[in-house]
Amino acid sequence: MKLANLDGRAAVLTAQGAVDVESASDGRFPSHPDAALRHLAEIRDWVGAAGPRADPASALAALEADPSRLGPPVTAPGQIFAVGLNYLDHSTETGLVVPDAPLVFTKFPSSLAGPGDDIPLPTPTCDWEIELVLVVAEGGRDIPPSKALDHIAGFCVGQDISERAAQMAGATPQFSLAKSHRAFIPIGPWLTTPDELDGPHDLRLTCTLDGETVQSGHTRDMIFDIPALISHLSGVCELRPADLIFTGTPAGAGFSRTPARYLTPGSVLRSTIDGLGTLANTCV
């Protein structure tokens, strides 16, 4: 199932169009995307059984072509975890030491943005990082790797936009603030539930800048896989419903190139994960 934030309301996307979850269920389910997330299984059963009428004006293809009505599929997560250096090729290109435990930082939720939103560039040294994003379903502490996938509500595409000058300044890197400027967390285009995929480690990630492919990777190449990340994080923090986990980026970020390359006003960043959709964000 694909659950979107369409005009600020939870909507199931089908080939025939969008189903507004609250109105089509006569109020059985909430309209807020974050609240609807708590009823994913019930909503899926209801869509399958009731076959609610879809709005053909919001067909999937139309929303793919123009994501401007889509907001972030999760709007106010309590926690956003992000993992640095989680692909060997990216770890190597940065010249940083390959970590022997996940390198975790946060991105602050006020910088969330939708799949078609503009990204204002605060400096000339802002960079791209396409990532697979997990949305937590049932949370918990000390989740063993064998149970980790049961705690995932779904997946979406994310960009971990990064202001490299501040990130790398000083003796100790400043990841969290440098990655939390306005609209530095576009996610979407919608949440895709796990049953639609062959698994989260069988996904190709592609990021293009003005049509040129700048990142091309595969989720099978993560250093710490998704069960390991969920187990590690929940061993410290209680995971809660609708928390987000950014799982790291493959090679091709701009700052590790020679010469370094950054986002410029007017450039269009397209971020695609097969089976999950595409973000199309214009830098301003």
Token look-up 């969920």 returns 230
In the complex with Zn ion, the residue whose CB is nearer, 129 or 243, is 129
- Determine the Cα angle at 54 with ends 51 and 55, to 5°: 170
Q: Are strands 70-71 and 2-6 parallel, antiparallel or unpaired?
A: antiparallel
In the complex with Zn ion, the residue whose CB is nearer, 46 or 224, is 224
| CA–CA distance, 50 with 30 (Å, rounded to integer) | 17
Q: Does 129 bind Zn ion (CB under 5 A)?
A: yes
DSSP string, 154-210: EEEEEE--EEHHHHH-SSS--HHHHT-STT-EEEEEEEE-GGGSS-TTS-EEEEEET
- What minimum distance in Å lies between the beta carbon of 102 and Zn ion? 12
- What minimum distance in Å lies between the beta carbon of 90 and Zn ion? 8
- What minimum distance in Å lies between the beta carbon of 86 and Zn ion? 8
Token look-up 């004006």 returns 57
| CA–CA distance, 78 with 240 (Å, rounded to integer) | 7
3-state secondary structure of 230: helix
- What minimum distance in Å lies between the beta carbon of 52 and Zn ion? 38
In the complex with Zn ion, the residue whose CB is nearer, 117 or 160, is 160
Of 29-37, 53-61, 198-206, 248-256, the segment contacting Zn ion by CB under 5 A is 248-256
Of 12-20, 28-36, 122-130, 217-225, the segment contacting Zn ion by CB under 5 A is 122-130
Q: Which of residues 152-191 bind Zn ion (CB under 5 A)?
A: 160
In the complex with Zn ion, the residue whose CB is nearer, 129 or 163, is 129
Can you tell me which of 159, 193, 231, 249 binds Zn ion, judged by CB under 5 A? 249
CB-based closest residue to Zn ion = 160
- What minimum distance in Å lies between the beta carbon of 21 and Zn ion? 31
> Exposure of 99 by Cβ count < 10 A (0-12 exposed, 13-18 middle, 19+ buried)?
middle
**Residues at the site binding Zn ion, with contacts judged by CB under 5 A:** 129, 160, 249
